[in-house]
């Protein structure tokens, strides 16, 4: 969910310098994404279990979720096949050492740690440690280049929101909620395009946003919002049911959705949006769950969502109520 991107990070400081290097500062010899075989760090039989540790550059937006770290090395062995070990340090812990055999031809080798969930402050402290194992006294392992490839997902949904305000009146109730996008999130939403939907959903049918008439004609809906450029019926201002072919919407209880849909292009970052729905209390004193959700729908704005389109959703709040 969200927009997945990658960014490259290079070493920018030495922490441990246990390997042999072509310069006093080790990280400067391997911090190229395009390898230079005249510069390297080296492990041999006599360096034993010595290692280098490098501090890596900071990367990525502040409100992204970081899910994968790949350390890429360009390396070569001389004399016999050697083993290169790598480990990464994130959020106060080492994630686990990995190893790969390095042959006599210089080539790229990767070490991957995935299925991660880290924030920006965690990934900013990234460190990489490498260690080489040479089997014989004449074996040498050289690393010419090392960098990290970081995968992260940027969030398109609102950055902040309020708890819904839900006052009750004799025959109706309202739901009122405010939400806001930070600059990064709004950038992602607009880059992904399509339309944005705000939705209030109930697990059973207790309220009517669009109230059916005697012949199943939809005769009532009421809302207020500062969302721009709402898309008209039947693509917005909807009340949907997960049970089809209901007779005048009254015979069965089911999941109920009420939503508004707008294009993303005129929406603004750092601006509080508000949606207020008015519901008729068709059933009273029933326990139910209410969710407020954000949805993003690809395709053209006049098309129905969820029908052969790019579609994602994010739940903002969950609350329990009496109808």
Q: Assign domain 3-154 to its CATH architecture.
A: Sandwich (2.60)
Global confidence as pTM: 0.65
Of 126, 78, 130, nearest to 106 by C-alpha is: 78
The tokens for 116 are 């991660």
Tokens 């399509």 sit at which residue? 194
Tokens 């929101």 sit at which residue? 161
Residue 253, Cβ neighbours under 10 Å: how many?
Answer: 17
Cα 179 to Cα 160: distance, rounded to the nearest angstrom: 6
pLDDT at 92: 93
pLDDT in tens, the chain (323 residues): 677 889 999 999 999 999 999 999 999 999 989 999 999 999 988 888 899 999 999 988 877 889 999 999 999 999 999 999 999 999 999 999 999 999 999 999 999 999 998 888 899 999 999 999 998 899 999 999 999 999 998 888 999 999 999 999 988 899 999 999 998 888 888 888 888 989 998 888 788 776 555 554 445 568 889 999 876 544 444 444 433 333 344 444 444 678 888 889 899 999 999 999 988 887 888 899 999 999 988 765 555 555 555 778 889 999 998 88
With DSSP H G I counted as helix, E B as strand and the rest as coil, what are the percentages for the chain, rounded to 5?
Answer: 5, 50, 45
Q: What is the DSSP string of 95-159?
A: ---EEEEE-SS-EEEEEEE-S--B-HHHHTT-EEEEEEE-SSTT-EEEEEEEEEEEEEEE--S-S
Backbone angles phi, psi at 316, to 5 degrees: -90, -50
The tokens for 112 are 């991957």
Q: What is the pLDDT of residues 111-155, one digit of tens each?
A: 999 999 888 889 999 999 999 999 889 999 999 999 999 999 888
The tokens for 154 are 């940027």
Are 198 and 237 in contact by the 8 Å Cβ rule? The answer is: no
Cα 168 to Cα 219: distance, rounded to the nearest angstrom: 22
User: Do β-strands 160-161 and 172-180 pair in parallel, antiparallel, or remain unpaired?
Assistant: antiparallel
Cα 111 to Cα 132: distance, rounded to the nearest angstrom: 14
Of 287, 279, 208, nearest to 250 by C-alpha is: 208
Question: Looking at the chain, which residues constitute the CATH 2.60.120 domain(s)?
Answer: 3-154
Residue 1 DSSP one-character state = -
For residue 24, the cross-strand partners are none
C-alpha triplet 82, 83, 89: angle, nearest 5°: 150
Backbone angles phi, psi at 187, to 5 degrees: -60, -45
H or E element, residue 262: strand 256-263
Q: What is the pLDDT of residues 60-77, one digit of tens each?
A: 887 788 999 999 999 999
Question: Looking at the chain, which residues constitute the CATH 2.60.40 domain(s)?
Answer: 160-322
CATH code that applies to domain 160-322:
2.60.40
CA distances from 150 to 33, 78, 118, 126 (A): 14, 30, 11, 10
Residue 103, Cβ neighbours under 10 Å: how many?
Answer: 13
Residues in the chain: 323
């Amino acid at each position: 969910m969200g927009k997945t991107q990658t960014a490259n990070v290079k070493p920018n400081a030495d922490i441990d310098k246990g390997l042999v290097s072509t310069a006093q500062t080790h990280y400067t010899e391997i911090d190229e994404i395009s390898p230079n075989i005249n510069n390297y760090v080296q492990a041999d039989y006599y360096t034993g279990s010595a290692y280098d540790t490098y501090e890596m550059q900071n990367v990525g937006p502040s409100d992204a979720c970081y899910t994968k770290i790949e350390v890429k090395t360009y390396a070569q062995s001389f004399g016999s096949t050697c083993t290169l070990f790598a480990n990464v340090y994130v959020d106060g812990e080492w994630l686990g050492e990995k190893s790969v055999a390095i042959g006599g031809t210089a080539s790229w080798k990767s070490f991957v740690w995935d299925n991660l969930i880290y924030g920006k402050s965690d990934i900013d402290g990234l460190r990489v440690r490498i260690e080489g194992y040479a089997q014989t006294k004449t074996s040498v392992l050289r690393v010419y280049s090392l960098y990290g490839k970081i995968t992260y997902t940027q969030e398109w949904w609102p950055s902040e929101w309020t708890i819904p305000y839900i006052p009750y009146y004799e025959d109706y109730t309202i739901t009122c909620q405010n939400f806001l996008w930070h600059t990064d999130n709004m950038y992602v939403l607009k880059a992904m395009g399509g339309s944005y939907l705000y939705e209030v959903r109930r697990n059973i049918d207790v309220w009517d946003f669009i109230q059916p008439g005697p012949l199943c004609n939809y005769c009532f809906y009421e809302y207020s919002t500062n969302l721009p450029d709402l898309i008209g019926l039947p693509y917005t201002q909807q009340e949907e049911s997960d049970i089809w072919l209901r007779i005048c919407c009254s015979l069965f209880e089911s999941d109920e959705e009420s939503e508004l849909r707008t294009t993303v292009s005129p929406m603004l970052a750092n601006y509080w949006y508000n949606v207020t729905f008015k519901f008729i209390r068709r059933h009273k004193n029933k326990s139910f769950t209410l969710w407020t959700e954000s949805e993003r729908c690809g395709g053209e704005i006049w098309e129905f969502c969820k029908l052969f389109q790019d579609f994602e959703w994010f739940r903002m709040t969950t609350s329990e109520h009496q109808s």
